[in-house]
Amino acid sequence: MSKKKYLVTGVAGFIASQVSKQLLDQGERVVGVDNLSDYYDVRLKNWRLEQLKSHPHTKNFSFACLDIEDQAKLSDLFKAEGPFDAVLNLAARAGVRYSMENPHVYLSTNAEGTLNLLECMRDHGCKKLVLASTSSLYAGQKMPFTEDLAVNEPLSPYAATKKAGELMAYSYHKLYQVDVSVVRYFTVFGPAGRPDMSPYRFIKWIAEEETIQMFGDGSQSRDFTYVDDIARGTIAAIQDVGYEIINLGGGRNPVSLNTIISKLEELLGKKAMIDHKPFHVADLMETWADISKAKNLLGWEPQVSLDEGLEESVEWYFNNQNWLKEIIV
């Protein structure tokens, strides 16, 4: 049986690197692209890349330092490396608060970058797109969040540009028969996570006895989902679905940030110091995914519990603490 070949964008990112690892585990071929932006410390991205370059099936992996905003270079890549069985677009400008400071770069990557990929797919006959999206779109909606909710009132440029990407993909599905799976992620965590997100930053702050910077009183809750589970769901979404939006989340009762901190205090054997700041206007108080569609359509549900995931995250931090100490969160 011939190997499939996938283009994975944002390959040095937290989720895309794990998706690529699992595809390589399955013996598939992965062409990964990433612009290695300095939104956070590039050393973390390089570490993830090194894990892929040292994978037992590394001969099936190739990397190009490339920005999906550059349509000409993207087109050259499709010519040189294609054809691709599917494109998994996980490249994105992430972060709700930062999007309010730099909205233009979010539009360029999340909307125009997605359009560039869709144009290359149309030009080169690639008919399957898996598009990473976000639970941030569900602001103000009734929980648990279902995919059929109207999400037309985004609270941040980040959410607005992710919605734009979803809509652009829908138009290419209708016009050019591109099969699209939109996967909306819910608060992904795990080893080698983004340093601007909890629980990673909580682990670092508590371990190094620094003060946690908390927006709000910590009662805000999230549907935490372990990165390995998210990667499995993303790969499961490669199948033909037409056009579907699919939640990938824990599907459990949401857990407060205060509870996460308490669990980490126990794992780390240290007490957290917390500086409470005003709750941010663009943040959601609570997220909770209805994952019925993922179960029924993809045969997917999360396997790793919150406690197991936190233990793995803490262990990874200590195993890499010698250089992680220098990473600013």
Strand partners, 275: 213
* Token code pair at residue 305: 């519990």
- Residue 131, pLDDT > 80, answer yes
Residue 309 burial (CB count, 10 A) = 23
pLDDT at residue 179, as a whole number: 98
Q: Which of 268-272, 277-281, 315-319 has the lowest mean pLDDT?
A: 277-281
pTM over 0.85, yes/no: yes
Sheet harboring 128-134: ordered strands across? 61-65, 29-34, 5-9, 86-89, 128-134, 179-185, 243-248
Q: What is residue 290's predicted lDDT score, i.e. its pLDDT?
A: 98
Contact (Cβ atoms closer than 8 angstroms) between residue 110 and residue 165? yes
- State yes or no: pLDDT of 160 exceeds 90: yes
User: What are 228's two structure tokens?
Assistant: 């390995």
Quote the pLDDT of residue 297: 98
Mean pLDDT of the residues in the chain = 95
In DSSP notation, 76-118 reads HHHHHH---SEEEE------HHHHHH-HHHHIIIIIIIHHHHH
Q: Which of the following CATH numbers is that of domain 5-188+225-251+287-303: 3.40.50.720, 3.10.450.50, 3.40.50.300, 3.30.50.10? A: 3.40.50.720
**Do residues 246 and 309 make contact, with C-beta atoms less than 8 angstroms apart?**
no
Q: Write down the pLDDT at residue 127.
A: 98
Q: Report the DSSP beta bridge partners of residue 276.
A: 214
For residue 181, the model assigns a pLDDT of 98
Provide the pLDDT confidence category of residue 109 given band limits of 50, 70 and 90: very high
Domain locations in the chain? 5-188+225-251+287-303
What's the confidence (pLDDT) of residue 325? Answer: 85
User: How many Å apart are CA 225 and CA 237, to the nearest integer?
Assistant: 17
Digit-coded pLDDT (tens) for 308-329? 999 999 999 999 999 998 887 7
pLDDT in tens, 8-47: 999 999 999 999 999 999 999 999 999 999 888 999 999 9
Active site residues: 158
Task: Encode pLDDT of 70-87 as tens digits.
Answer: 999 999 999 999 999 999
- pLDDT 10s digits, 175-227: 999 999 999 999 999 999 999 898 999 999 999 999 999 999 999 999 999 99
